Structure 1
Amino acid sequence: MGKRDKKIIIEEPEELEEAEDVFEVEKILDKRVQHGRIQYNVRWIGFSSDYDTWEDEDNVAGCPELVKEFESSRQQEKKKSKKRKHTIINDDPTAVEISSSSSPPTTKPSSSTTAAAPASSSASVTTKTATATVTTDTYFSNNTTSTHQKTNHSVEVEENIKNEYIKFGVPYIEGVGFENGHCVEEVIGCKPFGQDNTLFFFVKWRDQEKLSWVPNEILKHKEPLQLIEFYESRLKFGYSGQPS
Protein backbone atom coordinates (compact mmCIF):
# COMPACT_ATOMS: atom_id res chain seq x y z
CA MET A 1 0.00 0.00 0.00
CA GLY A 2 1.19 3.45 -0.85
CA LYS A 3 1.59 6.12 1.72
CA ARG A 4 -1.46 8.18 2.40
CA ASP A 5 -1.12 11.90 1.89
CA LYS A 6 -1.76 13.79 5.09
CA LYS A 7 -4.54 16.31 4.80
CA ILE A 8 -3.61 19.63 6.40
CA ILE A 9 -6.49 21.76 7.59
CA ILE A 10 -5.71 25.43 8.14
CA GLU A 11 -8.19 27.22 10.32
CA GLU A 12 -8.92 30.78 9.37
CA PRO A 13 -8.56 33.19 12.32
CA GLU A 14 -11.74 34.76 13.56
CA GLU A 15 -12.37 38.27 12.43
CA LEU A 16 -11.27 40.77 14.98
CA GLU A 17 -13.98 42.93 16.36
CA GLU A 18 -13.79 46.46 15.19
CA ALA A 19 -12.17 48.55 17.88
CA GLU A 20 -14.17 51.39 19.36
CA ASP A 21 -12.97 54.95 18.94
CA VAL A 22 -10.98 56.17 21.90
CA PHE A 23 -10.66 59.89 22.60
CA GLU A 24 -7.89 61.24 24.81
CA VAL A 25 -7.98 64.43 26.83
CA GLU A 26 -5.29 66.95 25.91
CA LYS A 27 -6.11 69.72 28.38
CA ILE A 28 -8.79 70.98 30.76
CA LEU A 29 -9.68 74.58 29.95
CA ASP A 30 -12.44 75.70 32.31
CA LYS A 31 -14.88 74.68 35.03
CA ARG A 32 -18.51 75.43 35.80
CA VAL A 33 -21.51 74.25 37.83
CA GLN A 34 -24.43 73.22 35.61
CA HIS A 35 -27.70 72.10 37.22
CA GLY A 36 -25.86 71.33 40.44
CA ARG A 37 -23.17 69.22 38.71
CA ILE A 38 -19.50 70.12 38.31
CA GLN A 39 -18.39 70.12 34.67
CA TYR A 40 -15.03 70.66 32.96
CA ASN A 41 -14.37 72.14 29.52
CA VAL A 42 -12.17 69.60 27.71
CA ARG A 43 -9.78 69.93 24.74
CA TRP A 44 -9.32 66.59 22.92
CA ILE A 45 -6.05 65.34 21.41
CA GLY A 46 -6.13 65.65 17.63
CA PHE A 47 -9.12 68.01 17.60
CA SER A 48 -9.33 71.79 17.32
CA SER A 49 -11.04 74.14 19.77
CA ASP A 50 -14.25 73.79 17.71
CA TYR A 51 -14.67 70.35 19.27
CA ASP A 52 -14.15 71.38 22.91
CA THR A 53 -16.92 69.92 25.09
CA TRP A 54 -18.26 70.28 28.63
CA GLU A 55 -17.96 66.96 30.47
CA ASP A 56 -19.31 65.90 33.86
CA GLU A 57 -16.76 65.42 36.64
CA ASP A 58 -17.14 61.63 36.44
CA ASN A 59 -16.21 61.63 32.74
CA VAL A 60 -12.75 63.09 33.43
CA ALA A 61 -11.97 60.80 36.36
CA GLY A 62 -9.54 58.91 34.11
CA CYS A 63 -7.17 61.87 33.88
CA PRO A 64 -6.63 62.97 37.51
CA GLU A 65 -3.27 64.62 36.74
CA LEU A 66 -4.85 67.01 34.21
CA VAL A 67 -7.64 67.84 36.65
CA LYS A 68 -5.11 68.49 39.42
CA GLU A 69 -3.01 70.67 37.11
CA PHE A 70 -6.07 72.73 36.11
CA GLU A 71 -7.31 73.17 39.70
CA SER A 72 -3.83 74.20 40.86
CA SER A 73 -3.54 76.78 38.08
CA ARG A 74 -7.03 78.07 38.87
CA GLN A 75 -6.25 78.53 42.56
CA GLN A 76 -3.02 80.38 41.78
CA GLU A 77 -4.90 82.74 39.48
CA LYS A 78 -7.49 83.42 42.18
CA LYS A 79 -4.77 84.21 44.73
CA LYS A 80 -3.07 86.61 42.32
CA SER A 81 -6.37 88.33 41.63
CA LYS A 82 -7.20 88.72 45.31
CA LYS A 83 -3.77 90.09 46.19
CA ARG A 84 -3.89 92.51 43.29
CA LYS A 85 -7.36 93.98 43.61
CA HIS A 86 -9.00 93.46 46.99
CA THR A 87 -8.40 92.80 50.66
CA ILE A 88 -10.27 90.31 52.79
CA ILE A 89 -11.37 91.99 56.03
CA ASN A 90 -10.53 89.98 59.15
CA ASP A 91 -10.29 86.79 57.07
CA ASP A 92 -14.03 87.00 56.38
CA PRO A 93 -14.59 85.93 52.73
CA THR A 94 -17.93 87.73 52.61
CA ALA A 95 -16.56 91.14 53.62
CA VAL A 96 -14.47 92.81 50.95
CA GLU A 97 -13.12 96.33 50.52
CA ILE A 98 -11.59 97.91 47.45
CA SER A 99 -7.82 98.37 47.35
CA SER A 100 -6.59 101.95 47.40
CA SER A 101 -4.66 101.43 44.18
CA SER A 102 -6.48 101.53 40.87
CA SER A 103 -5.58 100.76 37.28
CA PRO A 104 -6.43 102.91 34.23
CA PRO A 105 -9.62 101.86 32.43
CA THR A 106 -9.20 99.50 29.53
CA THR A 107 -11.13 99.69 26.27
CA LYS A 108 -11.07 96.06 25.24
CA PRO A 109 -14.65 94.79 24.81
CA SER A 110 -15.58 91.24 25.76
CA SER A 111 -15.67 88.71 22.94
CA SER A 112 -19.08 87.46 24.04
CA THR A 113 -20.98 90.75 23.86
CA THR A 114 -24.50 90.80 22.48
CA ALA A 115 -26.81 93.44 21.01
CA ALA A 116 -27.40 96.47 23.20
CA ALA A 117 -30.64 96.65 25.15
CA PRO A 118 -32.98 99.66 24.85
CA ALA A 119 -31.84 102.53 27.03
CA SER A 120 -34.03 104.02 29.71
CA SER A 121 -34.20 107.74 30.31
CA SER A 122 -33.17 107.36 33.94
CA ALA A 123 -31.60 104.91 36.35
CA SER A 124 -33.52 104.13 39.51
CA VAL A 125 -32.79 102.04 42.57
CA THR A 126 -35.67 101.11 44.87
CA THR A 127 -35.10 99.53 48.28
CA LYS A 128 -37.74 97.36 49.88
CA THR A 129 -37.20 95.06 52.85
CA ALA A 130 -33.44 95.02 52.36
CA THR A 131 -33.75 94.16 48.65
CA ALA A 132 -32.47 96.31 45.77
CA THR A 133 -34.63 96.42 42.65
CA VAL A 134 -32.74 98.05 39.80
CA THR A 135 -34.30 98.63 36.40
CA THR A 136 -32.48 96.30 34.02
CA ASP A 137 -33.11 98.42 30.93
CA THR A 138 -31.17 101.26 32.54
CA TYR A 139 -28.36 99.06 33.81
CA PHE A 140 -27.84 97.28 30.53
CA SER A 141 -28.43 100.12 28.07
CA ASN A 142 -25.61 100.31 25.52
CA ASN A 143 -23.90 97.48 27.37
CA THR A 144 -21.91 96.43 24.33
CA THR A 145 -20.32 99.83 23.77
CA SER A 146 -16.64 99.93 24.68
CA THR A 147 -15.31 102.84 26.74
CA HIS A 148 -13.87 104.81 23.80
CA GLN A 149 -17.10 104.39 21.77
CA LYS A 150 -19.56 105.64 24.40
CA THR A 151 -22.34 107.95 23.21
CA ASN A 152 -23.43 110.99 25.19
CA HIS A 153 -26.53 109.10 26.31
CA SER A 154 -24.60 106.06 27.59
CA VAL A 155 -22.26 108.36 29.50
CA GLU A 156 -25.29 110.01 31.06
CA VAL A 157 -26.73 106.62 32.03
CA GLU A 158 -23.43 105.58 33.65
CA GLU A 159 -23.37 108.88 35.54
CA ASN A 160 -26.91 108.22 36.83
CA ILE A 161 -25.88 104.75 38.00
CA LYS A 162 -22.85 106.26 39.73
CA ASN A 163 -25.11 108.70 41.60
CA GLU A 164 -27.35 105.84 42.77
CA TYR A 165 -24.27 103.97 44.05
CA ILE A 166 -23.28 107.07 46.01
CA LYS A 167 -26.70 107.11 47.70
CA PHE A 168 -26.02 103.61 49.01
CA GLY A 169 -22.44 104.45 49.95
CA VAL A 170 -21.14 101.94 47.39
CA PRO A 171 -17.82 102.73 45.63
CA TYR A 172 -18.48 102.99 41.88
CA ILE A 173 -15.64 101.80 39.63
CA GLU A 174 -15.73 103.40 36.19
CA GLY A 175 -14.95 101.54 32.98
CA VAL A 176 -16.14 98.07 34.01
CA GLY A 177 -19.47 96.34 34.51
CA PHE A 178 -22.47 95.06 32.59
CA GLU A 179 -23.14 98.62 31.37
CA ASN A 180 -19.77 98.42 29.59
CA GLY A 181 -20.50 95.06 27.95
CA HIS A 182 -18.25 93.00 30.22
CA CYS A 183 -18.79 89.41 31.40
CA VAL A 184 -18.32 88.06 34.91
CA GLU A 185 -15.26 85.88 35.44
CA GLU A 186 -15.63 85.30 39.19
CA VAL A 187 -17.65 86.49 42.17
CA ILE A 188 -15.13 87.37 44.89
CA GLY A 189 -17.25 88.37 47.89
CA CYS A 190 -20.31 90.27 49.09
CA LYS A 191 -21.20 93.04 51.51
CA PRO A 192 -24.37 94.88 52.63
CA PHE A 193 -24.62 98.62 52.02
CA GLY A 194 -26.97 101.38 53.12
CA GLN A 195 -29.49 101.61 55.95
CA ASP A 196 -31.46 98.67 54.55
CA ASN A 197 -28.34 96.47 54.22
CA THR A 198 -28.80 96.09 50.46
CA LEU A 199 -26.54 93.27 49.27
CA PHE A 200 -23.83 93.98 46.68
CA PHE A 201 -21.31 91.49 45.22
CA PHE A 202 -17.66 92.19 44.44
CA VAL A 203 -17.00 90.93 40.90
CA LYS A 204 -13.92 90.20 38.78
CA TRP A 205 -14.61 90.86 35.09
CA ARG A 206 -13.25 88.77 32.22
CA ASP A 207 -10.23 90.35 30.46
CA GLN A 208 -10.38 93.36 32.81
CA GLU A 209 -8.00 94.49 35.55
CA LYS A 210 -10.55 96.37 37.65
CA LEU A 211 -13.08 94.80 40.02
CA SER A 212 -16.40 96.40 40.95
CA TRP A 213 -19.59 96.05 42.97
CA VAL A 214 -22.84 94.69 41.46
CA PRO A 215 -26.29 94.71 43.12
CA ASN A 216 -27.70 91.32 44.07
CA GLU A 217 -30.76 91.68 41.81
CA ILE A 218 -28.68 92.50 38.74
CA LEU A 219 -26.19 89.65 39.29
CA LYS A 220 -29.03 87.20 39.94
CA HIS A 221 -30.64 88.23 36.66
CA LYS A 222 -27.49 88.23 34.48
CA GLU A 223 -25.24 85.51 35.98
CA PRO A 224 -27.30 83.13 38.17
CA LEU A 225 -24.85 80.23 37.75
CA GLN A 226 -21.90 82.34 38.89
CA LEU A 227 -23.92 83.37 41.94
CA ILE A 228 -24.81 79.75 42.73
CA GLU A 229 -21.16 78.69 42.42
CA PHE A 230 -20.17 81.48 44.83
CA TYR A 231 -22.68 80.29 47.45
CA GLU A 232 -21.81 76.59 46.96
CA SER A 233 -18.10 77.27 47.50
CA ARG A 234 -18.90 78.77 50.90
CA LEU A 235 -21.53 76.34 52.17
CA LYS A 236 -20.80 74.86 55.59
CA PHE A 237 -23.13 72.35 57.20
CA GLY A 238 -23.36 72.10 60.97
CA TYR A 239 -24.54 68.48 60.99
CA SER A 240 -21.75 66.31 62.43
CA GLY A 241 -23.27 62.96 61.53
CA GLN A 242 -23.65 61.95 65.17
CA PRO A 243 -27.13 60.91 66.35
CA SER A 244 -28.63 63.20 68.97
Structure 2
Amino acid sequence: MNQTPDDPPEGGEVFGDVNRLQSFLTHLDERGLILSLASFAEDALGDLIRAFLLPGASATQLLDGFNAPIGTFSTRIKMAYSLGLVTKRQYEDLDRLRRIRNEFAHNWEPISFADQKIAAHISALHFSTLDDDFPSSPQEKVRKSFGALLVELRSTTHQINKHGRRAKLIGTHLIGGVTGELDDQIAACRTRLTELAEELKSASGDHRRFLLTVRRNWASKLEIVRLNAPRERQAEIRRVQDELQAGCL
Protein backbone atom coordinates (compact mmCIF):
# COMPACT_ATOMS: atom_id res chain seq x y z
CA MET A 1 0.00 0.00 0.00
CA ASN A 2 1.41 3.39 -0.99
CA GLN A 3 0.90 6.30 1.38
CA THR A 4 2.27 9.77 1.85
CA PRO A 5 3.51 10.95 5.25
CA ASP A 6 1.01 12.73 7.47
CA ASP A 7 0.54 16.48 7.43
CA PRO A 8 3.51 18.37 8.91
CA PRO A 9 2.13 19.15 12.40
CA GLU A 10 1.13 15.55 12.99
CA GLY A 11 4.10 14.20 11.06
CA GLY A 12 6.57 16.14 13.19
CA GLU A 13 5.34 14.31 16.24
CA VAL A 14 5.23 10.92 14.55
CA PHE A 15 8.63 11.13 12.87
CA GLY A 16 10.50 13.18 15.47
CA ASP A 17 12.78 10.37 16.58
CA VAL A 18 13.52 9.40 12.97
CA ASN A 19 14.51 13.00 12.27
CA ARG A 20 16.80 13.02 15.31
CA LEU A 21 18.40 9.79 14.13
CA GLN A 22 18.94 11.18 10.64
CA SER A 23 20.55 14.32 12.06
CA PHE A 24 23.57 12.46 13.40
CA LEU A 25 23.88 9.50 11.03
CA THR A 26 26.13 11.48 8.69
CA HIS A 27 28.64 11.90 11.52
CA LEU A 28 28.99 8.17 12.24
CA ASP A 29 31.46 5.74 10.77
CA GLU A 30 30.14 2.71 8.90
CA ARG A 31 29.95 0.48 11.97
CA GLY A 32 28.18 3.16 14.00
CA LEU A 33 25.82 3.88 11.12
CA ILE A 34 24.70 0.27 10.82
CA LEU A 35 24.45 -0.38 14.56
CA SER A 36 22.39 2.78 15.09
CA LEU A 37 20.03 1.99 12.21
CA ALA A 38 19.58 -1.60 13.33
CA SER A 39 18.94 -0.63 16.95
CA PHE A 40 16.35 1.93 15.89
CA ALA A 41 14.69 -0.50 13.48
CA GLU A 42 14.47 -3.17 16.18
CA ASP A 43 12.74 -0.72 18.53
CA ALA A 44 10.47 0.57 15.76
CA LEU A 45 9.38 -2.97 14.92
CA GLY A 46 8.65 -3.59 18.59
CA ASP A 47 6.48 -0.47 18.71
CA LEU A 48 4.71 -1.51 15.51
CA ILE A 49 3.94 -5.03 16.71
CA ARG A 50 2.88 -3.76 20.15
CA ALA A 51 0.47 -1.29 18.55
CA PHE A 52 -1.13 -4.10 16.54
CA LEU A 53 -1.43 -6.79 19.21
CA LEU A 54 -4.33 -6.92 21.63
CA PRO A 55 -3.30 -4.84 24.66
CA GLY A 56 -2.37 -6.57 27.89
CA ALA A 57 0.32 -8.35 29.82
CA SER A 58 0.64 -11.12 27.21
CA ALA A 59 1.75 -8.67 24.51
CA THR A 60 4.25 -7.08 26.88
CA GLN A 61 5.71 -10.46 27.82
CA LEU A 62 6.09 -11.39 24.16
CA LEU A 63 8.09 -8.25 23.39
CA ASP A 64 9.93 -7.22 26.54
CA GLY A 65 12.30 -8.76 29.02
CA PHE A 66 14.98 -11.42 29.00
CA ASN A 67 14.31 -14.17 26.45
CA ALA A 68 11.09 -12.51 25.25
CA PRO A 69 9.80 -14.59 22.29
CA ILE A 70 9.61 -11.51 20.04
CA GLY A 71 12.48 -9.68 21.67
CA THR A 72 15.13 -9.95 18.97
CA PHE A 73 15.58 -8.10 15.71
CA SER A 74 15.22 -11.34 13.75
CA THR A 75 11.99 -12.48 15.38
CA ARG A 76 10.46 -9.02 15.14
CA ILE A 77 11.19 -8.86 11.42
CA LYS A 78 9.58 -12.26 10.87
CA MET A 79 6.61 -11.49 13.11
CA ALA A 80 5.91 -8.11 11.49
CA TYR A 81 5.92 -9.72 8.06
CA SER A 82 3.79 -12.68 9.16
CA LEU A 83 1.20 -10.29 10.62
CA GLY A 84 1.10 -8.26 7.41
CA LEU A 85 2.56 -5.17 9.09
CA VAL A 86 5.46 -4.80 6.64
CA THR A 87 5.61 -5.43 2.92
CA LYS A 88 7.81 -8.05 1.31
CA ARG A 89 10.15 -5.29 0.15
CA GLN A 90 10.42 -3.89 3.68
CA TYR A 91 10.93 -7.39 5.06
CA GLU A 92 13.78 -8.03 2.63
CA ASP A 93 15.55 -4.78 3.46
CA LEU A 94 15.11 -5.23 7.21
CA ASP A 95 16.64 -8.68 6.93
CA ARG A 96 19.54 -7.23 4.93
CA LEU A 97 20.07 -4.66 7.67
CA ARG A 98 20.09 -7.47 10.23
CA ARG A 99 22.69 -9.40 8.24
CA ILE A 100 24.90 -6.33 7.80
CA ARG A 101 24.51 -5.55 11.51
CA ASN A 102 25.66 -9.05 12.39
CA GLU A 103 28.74 -8.70 10.20
CA PHE A 104 29.79 -5.58 12.11
CA ALA A 105 28.65 -6.71 15.55
CA HIS A 106 30.29 -10.15 15.45
CA ASN A 107 33.57 -9.25 13.81
CA TRP A 108 36.35 -7.78 15.94
CA GLU A 109 38.53 -7.05 12.94
CA PRO A 110 38.06 -3.86 10.92
CA ILE A 111 35.47 -4.34 8.17
CA SER A 112 33.74 -1.91 5.86
CA PHE A 113 31.04 -1.50 3.26
CA ALA A 114 33.64 -2.56 0.71
CA ASP A 115 33.73 -6.11 2.09
CA GLN A 116 32.21 -8.52 -0.41
CA LYS A 117 29.32 -9.81 1.71
CA ILE A 118 28.35 -6.37 3.00
CA ALA A 119 28.67 -4.78 -0.43
CA ALA A 120 26.35 -7.44 -1.86
CA HIS A 121 23.70 -6.71 0.77
CA ILE A 122 23.93 -2.97 0.13
CA SER A 123 23.75 -3.47 -3.61
CA ALA A 124 20.57 -5.53 -3.17
CA LEU A 125 18.89 -2.85 -1.05
CA HIS A 126 15.84 -1.22 -2.53
CA PHE A 127 16.25 2.48 -3.20
CA SER A 128 14.54 5.05 -1.02
CA THR A 129 10.89 5.69 -1.86
CA LEU A 130 11.23 9.28 -0.61
CA ASP A 131 14.23 10.48 -2.63
CA ASP A 132 14.63 11.17 -6.35
CA ASP A 133 18.41 11.59 -6.28
CA PHE A 134 20.66 8.65 -7.03
CA PRO A 135 22.86 7.94 -3.97
CA SER A 136 26.45 8.97 -4.52
CA SER A 137 27.96 6.28 -2.26
CA PRO A 138 27.06 3.07 -0.41
CA GLN A 139 26.87 5.10 2.81
CA GLU A 140 24.33 7.45 1.28
CA LYS A 141 22.27 4.56 -0.08
CA VAL A 142 22.21 2.97 3.37
CA ARG A 143 21.15 6.23 5.02
CA LYS A 144 18.47 7.03 2.46
CA SER A 145 17.06 3.52 2.00
CA PHE A 146 16.81 2.72 5.68
CA GLY A 147 15.79 6.26 6.56
CA ALA A 148 12.76 5.94 4.29
CA LEU A 149 12.00 2.47 5.64
CA LEU A 150 12.02 3.73 9.23
CA VAL A 151 9.65 6.55 8.28
CA GLU A 152 7.34 3.92 6.80
CA LEU A 153 7.44 1.84 9.98
CA ARG A 154 6.59 4.87 12.10
CA SER A 155 3.81 5.81 9.68
CA THR A 156 2.25 2.35 9.87
CA THR A 157 2.41 2.40 13.67
CA HIS A 158 0.75 5.80 13.69
CA GLN A 159 -2.02 4.64 11.35
CA ILE A 160 -2.76 1.66 13.59
CA ASN A 161 -2.99 3.89 16.67
CA LYS A 162 -4.93 6.64 14.92
CA HIS A 163 -7.53 4.47 13.21
CA GLY A 164 -7.77 1.58 15.67
CA ARG A 165 -6.40 -0.97 13.22
CA ARG A 166 -5.05 -3.30 15.87
CA ALA A 167 -5.74 -7.04 15.86
CA LYS A 168 -9.37 -8.01 16.40
CA LEU A 169 -10.51 -10.81 18.64
CA ILE A 170 -11.81 -13.58 16.38
CA GLY A 171 -11.79 -16.47 18.85
CA THR A 172 -15.16 -17.91 19.77
CA HIS A 173 -16.79 -20.46 22.04
CA LEU A 174 -19.07 -23.19 20.75
CA ILE A 175 -22.38 -24.12 22.36
CA GLY A 176 -24.85 -26.81 21.41
CA GLY A 177 -28.01 -25.87 19.58
CA VAL A 178 -31.65 -26.46 20.47
CA THR A 179 -33.64 -28.89 18.34
CA GLY A 180 -37.29 -28.91 17.35
CA GLU A 181 -39.76 -26.36 16.06
CA LEU A 182 -39.50 -22.76 17.20
CA ASP A 183 -42.06 -23.14 20.00
CA ASP A 184 -40.28 -26.28 21.21
CA GLN A 185 -36.95 -24.43 21.23
CA ILE A 186 -38.39 -21.54 23.24
CA ALA A 187 -40.01 -23.94 25.70
CA ALA A 188 -36.79 -25.94 26.13
CA CYS A 189 -34.80 -22.79 26.87
CA ARG A 190 -37.43 -21.45 29.25
CA THR A 191 -37.63 -24.75 31.14
CA ARG A 192 -33.89 -25.20 31.50
CA LEU A 193 -33.24 -21.59 32.53
CA THR A 194 -36.03 -21.79 35.11
CA GLU A 195 -34.53 -25.01 36.50
CA LEU A 196 -31.09 -23.43 36.68
CA ALA A 197 -32.44 -20.41 38.56
CA GLU A 198 -33.85 -22.75 41.20
CA GLU A 199 -30.68 -24.84 41.44
CA LEU A 200 -28.56 -21.73 41.87
CA LYS A 201 -30.47 -20.70 44.98
CA SER A 202 -28.83 -23.45 47.02
CA ALA A 203 -25.60 -24.01 45.10
CA SER A 204 -22.17 -22.89 46.28
CA GLY A 205 -18.48 -23.16 45.39
CA ASP A 206 -17.48 -24.94 42.20
CA HIS A 207 -20.99 -26.28 41.70
CA ARG A 208 -22.38 -22.74 41.65
CA ARG A 209 -19.72 -21.60 39.19
CA PHE A 210 -20.60 -24.57 36.99
CA LEU A 211 -24.30 -23.72 37.06
CA LEU A 212 -23.56 -20.09 36.19
CA THR A 213 -21.61 -21.29 33.15
CA VAL A 214 -24.49 -23.54 32.10
CA ARG A 215 -26.95 -20.67 32.56
CA ARG A 216 -24.85 -18.40 30.34
CA ASN A 217 -24.81 -21.12 27.69
CA TRP A 218 -28.58 -21.54 27.76
CA ALA A 219 -29.10 -17.78 27.69
CA SER A 220 -26.90 -17.72 24.59
CA LYS A 221 -28.93 -20.53 23.06
CA LEU A 222 -32.13 -18.56 23.60
CA GLU A 223 -30.53 -15.50 22.00
CA ILE A 224 -29.58 -17.60 18.97
CA VAL A 225 -33.16 -18.88 18.80
CA ARG A 226 -34.40 -15.27 18.82
CA LEU A 227 -31.98 -14.16 16.11
CA ASN A 228 -32.98 -17.07 13.88
CA ALA A 229 -36.71 -16.61 14.48
CA PRO A 230 -39.02 -14.82 12.03
CA ARG A 231 -39.06 -11.09 12.64
CA GLU A 232 -42.65 -11.16 13.92
CA ARG A 233 -41.68 -13.60 16.70
CA GLN A 234 -38.52 -11.88 17.90
CA ALA A 235 -40.28 -9.40 20.21
CA GLU A 236 -42.10 -12.29 21.88
CA ILE A 237 -38.82 -14.11 22.53
CA ARG A 238 -37.27 -10.89 23.85
CA ARG A 239 -40.08 -10.73 26.43
CA VAL A 240 -39.29 -14.30 27.45
CA GLN A 241 -35.63 -13.33 27.86
CA ASP A 242 -36.55 -10.31 29.99
CA GLU A 243 -38.87 -12.43 32.12
CA LEU A 244 -36.21 -15.06 32.72
CA GLN A 245 -33.57 -12.41 33.43
CA ALA A 246 -35.84 -10.80 36.02
CA GLY A 247 -36.28 -14.19 37.67
CA CYS A 248 -32.50 -14.50 38.06
CA LEU A 249 -32.12 -11.23 39.97
Q: TM-score, normalised by structure 1?
A: 0.21
Query: Which structure is larger by alpha-carbon Rg, 1 or 2?
Result: 2
Name the TM-score, length of structure 2 as normaliser.
0.20
